[in-house]
Amino acid sequence: MAAGSSLTYAKERLTLKACVRNALNYNYSLRSFASKRRSVAMEVNQALSSFFPTLSLGTSFERSDWEGLPRSDHSDVNLKASYNLFRGGRDWSNLKSKRHAYHASDYDFQEEGLNVIASVEDTFFAILSLRNRLEVLKKSVEAAALHESYARGRVKAELAPLSDELRAQVDLSNAQVDLVQARRNLKTLKHTLAILMGRSPFKTFRLVKETLTLKAGNMTLSELFSLAKKKRPILKSLYEQILELKWQEKSLKSEFMPTLDSYITSGEEGYGTFPDRDYWTVGIELRYPFFTGFSTHYAVASTRARLEAKRWDYSQKILQVQKEIADAYDQFKTDQRVIKAREVLLKSALENLKVAQHRYKVGVGSIVELTDARVDATRAAIGLENAKLTVLGDEIELRRATGWFVPMIKALKDGKNVAEKRP
């Protein structure tokens, strides 16, 4: 490389799809939910272990010394295999409970995935919108600089008082401050998006401009409610938690039933230094709990109460999801009308700015009229960008509330958060 040449680093270009994929693979909050899901999967495997026989190896050594008798040593080595024949359905109920717990944790993972995707898309389009607003603010600075030159020329020609030039300079400074703050806000949004993708905020990137088709907002409320009932993970999670508690109750009730175990033991036993006798035993053991201090009764009653509470939570969550959808739907329709009004307002503000510039240039308008017209035009342009961004936010909220993004999460491959084999 030639001396004096400078190194340049190309910014990574990211599409919306790439941002979402990175977030699903590397978002730390989502990884936490994936780890919790794997933990519950191991609990399912642990519950399966009760259906297998147990095998144990035991050994003992004992030395006795009785008065008047010679000292004797006793050693025992045995291998014991046991298998539970009947536990009142406890093991099966426990296994079913753990499987429903796993499904609930999987749906919790998907619900968190919805939140992550919605946050990524919101931030992505907020950055694009702010880039558009930066262009508006740049034009606003250019207009303010032009007005300052108009005022300076008129003051120099003694056609206007010095206050006109000072007023124009203040207006230019305000426009420049707005531009600087917008650039700072853009960096903050990029840092937020980077963190959502599980990467350092210091790594630079550039977003590829994209559009979002307004599909969910154009559906009817009944269609959106039906979609949420089918796809929204939090509703499925609560339903699985209800089933989990049902099987927990059955598992606890099995404590009232007798247990039946079988076992086989084989070993060597002897007195003296070395074992000298082989033996084996086969047996069946029946146990029945007559009294346990009412602990099982209270455990069943507690689980039944938690089951009832979970059912109420499920009913309440259905209403909350419907409210989320209804609020976002009404807001979507309202904001669409706002866009049309903002477009008319912007057109009028730009026309007013042109008139004010011409009037001041020919000496029939005031500097206050000119600066106010610039501010009004800038606010109208920014208001239109904000309205467009708000509609996109409403669309994204409808998609999150209905579980629209679930297929994207299920299609996740070759990432850090890929689900293990479902137990």
CATH (domain of 318): 1.20.1600.10
CB 168 within 8 A of CB 367: yes
What does the alpha-carbon distance between residue 230 and residue 238 come to, in Å, rounded to a whole number? 13
The pLDDT value given to residue 418:
53
Residue with tokens 């939140």: 115
Work out the average pLDDT over 370-381.
Answer: 94
Interval 13-68: pLDDT, tens: 999 999 999 999 999 999 999 999 999 999 999 999 888 888 998 888 787 777 77
Work out the average pLDDT over 228-232.
Answer: 95
Res 102 pLDDT > 50: yes
CB 236 within 8 A of CB 45: no
Residue 4 located in a structural domain: no
pTM of the model: 0.85
The pLDDT value given to residue 416:
52
Residue 1 located in a structural domain: no
In total, the chain counts a number of residues equal to 423
Angle (nearest 5°) at CA 414 between 409 and 420: 70
Residue 259 located in a structural domain: yes
What does the alpha-carbon distance between residue 273 and residue 34 come to, in Å, rounded to a whole number? 56
Interval 71-81: pLDDT, tens: 777 778 888 88
Structure tokens at 392: 């996109």
Overall number of domains in the chain: 1
Q: Give kind and range of the element (H or E) at residue 56.
A: strand 54-64
What does the alpha-carbon distance between residue 175 and residue 381 come to, in Å, rounded to a whole number? 14
Residue range(s) defining the domain that contains residue 338: 12-63+73-410
Q: Which residue has the higher pLDDT, 167 or 268?
A: 167
Q: Which residue has the higher pLDDT, 220 or 275?
A: 220
Residue 7 located in a structural domain: no
Work out the average pLDDT over 298-315.
Answer: 94
What does the alpha-carbon distance between residue 234 and residue 212 come to, in Å, rounded to a whole number? 25
The pLDDT value given to residue 419:
47
Residue 233 located in a structural domain: yes
For the chain, what is the mean pLDDT?
89
Query: Sign of dihedral through CA atoms 389, 392, 394, 400?
Result: negative
Structure confidence at residue 158 as a pLDDT band (50, 70, 90): confident
Residue 160 located in a structural domain: yes
The pLDDT > 70 percentage for the chain reads 94
Structure tokens at 142: 């250019």
